[in-house]
Structure 1
Amino acid sequence: MDAYLLIITLAAIALVIVGVSVFKWHAFISLTVASLFLALTAGLSLDKIVSAYETGVGGVLGHLVGILALGTILGKMMAESGAGMQVADFFVRKFGVKKLPWAMLFSGFIIGIPVFFEVGILIVLPLVISIQKTTKQNILLISLPVIAGLSIVHGLVPPHPGALTAISIYKANLGHVLIYSLIIAIPAAIIAGPLFAKWVHKRVVPQGEPELIRFNTNYKKLPSTGISFFIILLPVLLMVLAAVAPYMSMPKGFEKFLAFIGSPVIALLISVFAAFYFLGIRQGMDKNMLRKFSEESLIPVGSIILIIGAGGGFKQILIDSGVGDTIGQMSENLSLSPLVLAFLIAGLIRIATGSATVALTTAAGIVSPIIEHMSGVNLELLVIATGAGSLMFSHVNDAGFWMVKEYLGLTVNETFKTWTVLETLLSFVAFAGALILNAFI
């Protein structure tokens, strides 16, 4: 029976992969069909299948919907107001031309905190290309560090949807994940960013030229650098305050207040209103423009919400059909660390489907039932290990691969040698960081 449950679970994961890559189904449909297949073949009674799926979807999305929406609006305000460009320009001025790779790394890292990877690229790309035109340096030396900063934050650091989904599924502590992920993300970004860029730009010289893309802006003046940094870092500062509040001697009522404003949805809501005022109204935007930006930014969120929800449904089917307990017993017999298991499963799904979000959500759903009866598992580092696995070996089935290729004017071969290697470096260095921290915590 154990072997049968394992086989049908592998078949269900294969169904997700085939659905996305061969039949070109949306990941939501693939995950939903795989959930139904797993439930039926595992012998879950018909009257329980739909309720289990709905419970799983609701459990994951209950507190994520608001976070996703608010985070996207915040990113849109940064892009449209020019706040992201101000931050990038600040680092370039401070570091100078000789240390440009480091300036670009910090730009990507800071800008990437509140925005999706794709939005971050759109924010910094005009600056990257204009610097390349001015300095005549290899575009890879300037672009790869900023991409490394954006990508590692997107993969590991809350309030990004992947990390928040894994935190929700594993029931991990958000504050601890935030602190650990920043500790791990910085060295990973340095190795895969400036250090790798300095090595690879001598070996790969792009044949094509990037097109100069200018971001359409509707503002009369740019926000100040200080305000730009404040808005970007505000949600993180509020979450860090909530995380450290229990360890500081303060009145109980004030500690509860900090925990309230530091919860992701409230922290982002406060940050969005701060952005509306400082990046919008003070820059000459009217109420109609702010509403337009909000509506435009929310359209792409629907797809991500559906994928994350379906991943939650898949997880609940795994639990209710007993598959999770079976895999848990088998992995205990194999003495395989949950961190290693989560990293490998997320990596395999990422390679097969091309989606970091699908990889993270599905892997967390598979691993969470396994660890329920285990003691001594660091749930926060498990989130990071799963996130690290979801970054590895981006190739032709990943939208990010084509985005980097087209925007930087690279060939497919050049993109493999640069972007694919960069993502894999980020993945393995972050995983190594999680294992090292696990040995000490």
Structure 2
Amino acid sequence: MPLVIVVAGIVLLLLLIMKLKLNTFVSLIIVSFCVALALGLPLDKVVKSIESGLGGTLGHIALIFGLGAMLGRLISDAGGAQRIAVTLIEKFGEKNVQWAVVVASFIIGIALFFEVGLVLLVPIVLTMAKQMKLSPLHLGVPMCAALLATHAFLPPHPGPTVIAGEYGADIGQVLVYGILIAIPAVIIGGPIYNAIAKRIVPSGFAKKADLDAIGSFKTFDLDKTPAFGISVLTAMLPVIMMSAAAIIAVIRSEAGIADNTGFAVIRLVGDASVSMVVSLLFAMWTMGVKRNIPVKDIMASCTSAASHIGMMLLIIGGGGAFKQVLIDGGVGKYVAELFAGTNASPLIFAWGVAALLRISLGSATVAAISTAGLVIPMLATHNVNLALVTLATGAGSAICSHVNDAGFWMFKEYFGLSMKETFGTWTVLSTIVSVLGLIGVLVLEGFVG
């Protein structure tokens, strides 16, 4: 019965969002109440369960998420992101322009959320495609492969950040392992799949760049943007800090070095929240004060970034409420008992559940958070690396983007594709990144599991 109730809840969620066009956050809260009552939670604990899930989820990620949005906006508003993209394209040359787009999108994708990165890079990609007389998809597929991989695997993006918090995984490890998994996924899902996609949907690659599709967009005189080196350093600083702390922790553990105050300071500096605070302050200097931009304008960019993620935070909180209801209602325990005594891998289970929810719900973040409610009880009976479980969940949540995902429609409209062409490029691309993510997790398990 618990699984039947979960399925019914997901179907109800789909109906509310897709048929009745209700707001996703409102739909999640309604479904959370319905599922809580159906699972037999005591009436005096229903609201407490929902509040606990919502508050617990936001309490962990709101700081990282908010600071990450501000960091990305400062880099974007200063022209740093444009400088990174254009410089790499010039350095790589026309022959290797795909790889330039991959590297630029990966760097920018770490600092910017998927939708923001897409909106920022599409004008640059379309302009370059028009100038070089290339198909927009020739550059668009590698760009989106990089943006999707960073979104699915790397903090401070909401999915991996939230899931790491729910599982209690070390976010530094998630970042290091995530980069190792993301790189091959981007290469295969981007430039390599691009060559195959041209044969699957040749009509899509025959289309020319249409700059009217993107409307007006902010461009900068390249000479007036921050230098390439400082732009990359600003975007990558949180990654550098968290990765360095995680690597030092692994070396200390393997070498058997006793813990001391120095290592405690490194852990503090490498903490995700501290790294984001330091990186934001650094960005205020490099992208603002150093360039004689008034402090009020810098703060306006930060305020704008925060206001644009308000609804996304609520949706993430709603997903956390749904997750907590599943746990408190005993669904996770029930699933754990079903798999007790079996050799089922928590990594494959997490990936599979997240994949099913992603295909059903459309939202990768909601799918990932909801998966946690079913996987957490199972982890108590299995000795598994929590960072890898986080990445397996993130990989599953990236699979098979289709008509119920906003990213599907953004890709379709920006590149002027038909439904068939979008399925043959974007949907397949997202599935490749997801499957390669799972393979990468299973390979890493042999080394660090």
User: Aligned partner of 1:343: which letter?
Assistant: W
Give me the whole-angstrom Cα distance separating, in 1, the residues matched to 2:370 and 2:423.
Answer: 25
- Give the deviation of 1:311 after TM superposition: 1.9
Unaligned runs of 5+ in 1: none
1:241-260 equivalences in 2 (<5 Å)? 241-246=244-249, 247-248=251-252, 252-260=260-268
- 1:177 matched residue in structure 2: 174
Q: Is the 8 A contact 1:318 1:369 kept in 2?
A: no
In the alignment, does 2:210 pair up with 1:210? Answer: yes
- 1:355 matched residue in structure 2: 363
Give me the whole-angstrom Cα distance separating, in 1, the residues matched to 2:311 and 2:134.
Answer: 38
- Give the deviation of 1:78 after TM superposition: 1.4
- Give the deviation of 1:25 after TM superposition: 2.0
Q: How many residue pairs get matched?
A: 437
Instruction: Determine helix, strand or coil for the equivalent of 2:398.
Output: coil
Q: Which of 349, 352, 372 lines up with 1:341 in the alignment?
A: 349
User: Aligned partner of 2:335: which letter?
Assistant: I
Q: Is the 8 A contact 1:346 1:359 kept in 2?
A: yes
- 2:239 matched residue in structure 1: 236
Q: Deviations over 1:212-269 (max 9, x none)?
A: 6563258881000011011011011111122133334698222222211221121111
The 3 A distance-change label for structure 1 pair 411 and 208 is: farther
Instruction: Tell me whether 104-113 or 38-47 shows the greater mean CA deviation.
Output: 38-47
1:39-438 equivalences in 2 (<5 Å)? 39-202=36-199, 203=202, 204-207=204-207, 209-211=209-211, 213=214, 215-216=217-218, 221-246=224-249, 247-248=251-252, 252-332=260-340, 335-372=343-380, 374-438=381-445
Give me the whole-angstrom Cα distance separating, in 2, the residues matched to 1:369 and 1:316.
Answer: 12
Instruction: Determine helix, strand or coil for the equivalent of 1:64.
Output: helix
User: Aligned partner of 2:150: which letter?
Assistant: V
Percent of aligned pairs with the same residue? 38
User: Aligned partner of 2:226: which letter?
Assistant: P
Q: Is the 8 A contact 1:245 1:259 kept in 2?
A: no
The 3 A distance-change label for structure 1 pair 110 and 218 is: closer
- Give the deviation of 1:308 after TM superposition: 1.7
Normalised TM-score (structure 1): 0.94
Instruction: Tell me whether 279-288 or 81-90 shows the greater mean CA deviation.
Output: 279-288
Give me the whole-angstrom Cα distance separating, in 1, the residues matched to 2:342 and 2:36.
Answer: 26
Q: Is the 8 A contact 2:130 2:209 kept in 1?
A: no
- Give the deviation of 1:208 after TM superposition: 5.7
Instruction: Determine helix, strand or coil for the equivalent of 2:339.
Output: helix
Q: Is the 8 A contact 1:81 1:280 kept in 2?
A: yes
Q: Is the 8 A contact 1:56 1:314 kept in 2?
A: yes
The 3 A distance-change label for structure 1 pair 115 and 341 is: same
Unaligned runs of 5+ in 2: none
Give me the whole-angstrom Cα distance separating, in 2, the residues matched to 1:394 and 1:433.
Answer: 20
Normalised TM-score (structure 2): 0.92
Give me the whole-angstrom Cα distance separating, in 2, the residues matched to 1:22 and 1:384.
Answer: 32
Q: Is the 8 A contact 1:347 1:392 kept in 2?
A: yes
The 3 A distance-change label for structure 1 pair 363 and 30 is: same
Q: Deviations over 1:21-50 (max 9, x none)?
A: 222222222222222122212221111111
Give me the whole-angstrom Cα distance separating, in 2, the residues matched to 1:105 and 1:126.
Answer: 15
The 3 A distance-change label for structure 1 pair 206 and 218 is: closer
Q: Which of 27, 33, 36 lines up with 2:33 in the alignment?
A: 36
- Give the deviation of 1:333 after TM superposition: 5.6
Give me the whole-angstrom Cα distance separating, in 1, the residues matched to 2:11 and 2:259.
Answer: 53
- Give the deviation of 1:179 after TM superposition: 1.1
Give me the whole-angstrom Cα distance separating, in 2, the residues matched to 1:305 and 1:153.
Answer: 19
Q: Which runs of 4+ in 1 moved over 4 A?
A: 217-220, 248-251
- Give the deviation of 1:161 after TM superposition: 0.8
Q: Deviations over 1:43-70 (max 9, x none)?
A: 2111111112212222221121111111
Q: Is the 8 A contact 1:74 1:271 kept in 2?
A: yes
Q: Is the 8 A contact 1:27 1:358 kept in 2?
A: no
User: Aligned partner of 2:22: which letter?
Assistant: W
The 3 A distance-change label for structure 1 pair 26 and 272 is: same
Give me the whole-angstrom Cα distance separating, in 2, the residues matched to 1:256 and 1:334.
Answer: 39
Give me the whole-angstrom Cα distance separating, in 2, the residues matched to 1:10 and 1:370.
Answer: 19
Give me the whole-angstrom Cα distance separating, in 2, the residues matched to 1:10 and 1:336.
Answer: 21
Give me the whole-angstrom Cα distance separating, in 1, the residues matched to 2:161 and 2:96.
Answer: 34
Q: Is the 8 A contact 1:206 1:411 kept in 2?
A: no
